[in-house]
Amino acid sequence: MKTSIARLLTCLVGTAVSPSVAADPLDTALDAYVEGLRKGDLNILQGLFLGEGQFCMNRQEGIRCSSFAAVLPSWIEKPDAQAAGRVRSREVIGSMARVTYQLDFNGTSYLDHLLLYESAGRWRVVAKTTWVEK
């Protein structure tokens, strides 16, 4: 009996799906966002954010928008090894997604609304609006 249970457990452990195999592609994309900021790696961020995509931030002087191509270099100027993010909400419909994402980066907490499209098996951010949480 003990041998049978041991064999069963061995089979179950052997067939468990590793986290990397079961990773959700959207979660992988969001992880790349934080990883790019932690490392200050422009290539990682350019792989996620569509260059022509739009970034908007509401500041005291008003709403300012620009392309990701224009702003990404400034995001990597001060890498933050402690950068962290978490999904507050998400909705996926077909090949598009809307994600509300909290990003803690260089001592500031940002609340991002990200719009993403999936193309050729990967997610790309096409628009991002940001609110700075104090």
Q: What is the CA radius of gyration of the chain?
A: 19
Sheet holding 122-133, edge to edge: 62-67, 49-59, 122-133, 108-119, 96-105, 84-93
DSSP collapsed to 3 states, the chain: CHHHHHHHHHHHHHCCCCHHHHCCHHHHHHHHHHHHHHHCCHHHHHHHEEEEEEEEEEECCEEEEEEHHHHHHHHCCCCCCCCEEEEEEEEEECCEEEEEEEEEECCEEEEEEEEEEEECCEEEEEEEEEEEEC
Q: Write down the pLDDT at residue 74.
A: 97
CATH 3.20.20.450 applies to domain 23-133: no
Q: Write down the pLDDT at residue 61.
A: 85
Which pTM was predicted? 0.81
CB atoms within 10 A of CB 64: 11
Q: Write down the pLDDT at residue 119.
A: 94
Q: Write down the pLDDT at residue 1.
A: 52
Q: Write down the pLDDT at residue 18.
A: 42
* Domain spans of the chain, in order of start: 23-133
In a structure prediction context, what are the per-residue pLDDT tens digits for the chain, which is 134 residues long?
A: 555 444 433 443 343 434 445 579 999 999 999 999 999 999 999 999 999 999 999 888 889 999 999 999 999 999 999 999 999 999 999 999 999 999 999 999 999 999 999 999 899 999 999 998 76
What is the residue whose two structure tokens read 């089979």? 11
